[in-house]
């Protein structure tokens, strides 16, 4: 599956299916995994059906299946590039800067109009 072009629903279904396949490959029942993860059995039924579950439940299930070390691969490291760190005097970025308006095109005769 190409996650960059897939819909969010298709991604949810693929991730849920993969987690359920891992559960089955380890011969763990839904009731056993539910107890280990601290979620309801109906949550695991929703997972098996490819329906959305909460992020908390998703993380609990991954931890119960000993897959927590794979979570770091979901998002890239947001470390600030060295050039940006110098520009920020060693400080970490705390907020995103707003988009700057593109400068308007200058034309001859505009110098007296105050623009």
Q: State residue 37's pLDDT score.
A: 96
Read off the pTM: 0.64
Helix (H, G, I), strand (E, B) or coil at 59: helix
> Is the pLDDT confidence value at 17 over 70?
yes
The CATH class of the 8-74 domain is mainly alpha
> Is the pLDDT confidence value at 56 over 90?
yes
Alpha carbon 2 to chain centroid distance? 15
pLDDT in tens, 79-92: 656 666 666 665 66
C-alpha to C-alpha distance for 10 and 58, rounded to whole angstroms: 16
Please enumerate in sequence order all residues whose Cβ is within 8 A of that of 93, keeping only pairs 6 or more positions apart, or say none. 80, 84
């Amino acid at each position: 599956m190409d996650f960059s072009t897939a819909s969010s629903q298709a991604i949810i279904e693929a991730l849920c299916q993969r987690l359920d396949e891992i559960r089955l490959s380890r011969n763990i029942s839904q009731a056993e995994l539910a107890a280990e993860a601290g979620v309801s059995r109906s949550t695991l039924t929703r997972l098996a059906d490819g329906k959305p579950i909460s992020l908390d439940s998703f993380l609990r299930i991954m931890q119960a299946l000993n897959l927590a070390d794979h979570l770091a691969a979901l998002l890239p490291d947001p470390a600030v590039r060295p050039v940006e760190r110098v520009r920020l005097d060693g400080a970490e970025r705390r907020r995103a800067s707003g988009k700057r308006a593109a400068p308007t095109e200058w034309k001859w005769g505009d110098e007296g109009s105050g623009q």
